[in-house]
Amino acid sequence: MSSEKSYTRFIVFSLVVLMASVFVFAPSSEVTAQEELVLATTTSTYDSGLLGKLNPVFEDRFDVKIKVIAVGTGAAIRHAENGDADVIMVHARPAEDEFMQEGWGVNRRDLMYNDFVIIGPESDPAGISDLEKATAAFQTIAESDEKFISRGDDSGTNKKELSIWDAAGVEPGGKWYLQIGKGMGDTIVQADQMGAYTMSDRGTYLSMKDKIDLEILVQGPVKGGDPVLMNPYGVIAVNPAQYPSVNYSMAMAYIGFVTSPRGQDIIGNYQVQGEQLFFPNALSEEPNFGQYVPEEFRN
């Protein structure tokens, strides 16, 4: 055998051994990569700190990493419609019903509720603190030309706010009405800095109240106030028939966890400075078929 052939065989053998070593000893992404669940959710569940208590328990139990996309409800739903989320946690039932009706979501469950509150400076320049109805408070703010900061981001809070302006017969606009296109936390901070009014979910406000000078001036139903300010949350899996690549099995496991006695206990026991931020309502002895389907299919 010529030295040239021997050298060629040696090179080939060396390459085979090297490739085998890489295959055996190199880490496999399929083996080592942790499973991921993408949750698109409203900013209130994130800003309030609730997800920081709820998600780690699920991650540990199922050995999965939850990627949270914290945006307004409208944006969370759009993420799901684009196939960029596995499960959504939002708070705008009409938008949730439309999401379900168009076939983007399946297996909706009621999850929890809190309420909205109207907050503003302690001096209350518009004089709304004695008013019981949100519509009357909004009318008074508009008539006073005192500044109102709106999220303006198509979130569940923004949708509710706009519905109250509409019910009040007011078309908000002008220099007194500022839409900033940001989440609840940023909106509260800006209202605080400007001495303005805004509407917040109770949970986010309570989680921030020690850092701001704004006070609750009009209560929601949790404290016996206007029922129109009720704020229910739902959780929905993205339809795998629309996007087969979504992590549907883990999404259903997550829905099962947050609506289970364990998940509901975490939600109900979560407090900030002794105040409960969310009230679980997934478990009920009475049938509640309305949580599963859009309104037009409930009769």
pLDDT by residue, tens only, the chain of 299 residues: 444 444 444 343 443 333 333 333 344 444 457 899 999 999 889 988 999 999 999 999 999 999 999 998 999 999 999 999 999 999 999 999 999 999 999 999 999 999 999 999 999 999 999 999 999 999 999 999 999 999 999 888 999 999 999 999 999 999 999 999 998 999 999 999 999 999 999 988 988 999 999 999 999 999 999 999 999 999 999 999 999 999 999 999 999 999 999 999 999 999 988 889 999 999 999 888 889 888 777 76
CB crowding 59-75: b at 16 or more within 10 Å, else e: eeeeebebebbbbbbbb
DSSP state letters, 149-218: EE--SS-HHHHHHHHHHHHTT----STTEEE----HHHHHHHHHHHT-BEEEEHHHHHHHGGG--EEEEE
pLDDT of residue 295: 76
- The structure tokens listed for 261 are 């006695």
pLDDT of residue 272: 86
Taking Cα atoms as reference points, which of 83, 86, 109 lies closest to residue 96?
109
The span from the CA of 204 to the CA of 49, in Å, is 8
The span from the CA of 77 to the CA of 85, in Å, is 9
CATH topology of 33-114+231-297 equal to that of 115-229? yes
> Which CATH class name applies to 33-114+231-297?
alpha beta
Cβ atoms 212, 192 nearer than 8 A? yes
Residue 278 phi, psi (nearest 5): -135, 150
The CATH number of 115-229, from 3.30.9.100, 3.40.228.10, 3.40.190.10, 3.40.50.10240, is: 3.40.190.10
Q: How many helices (H) and strands (E) does the chain have?
A: 12, 12
pTM, full prediction: 0.81
Residues in Cβ contact with 8 at an 8 Å cutoff, skipping those fewer than 6 apart: none
Question: Any idea where the domains of the chain sit in the sequence?
Answer: 33-114+231-297, 115-229
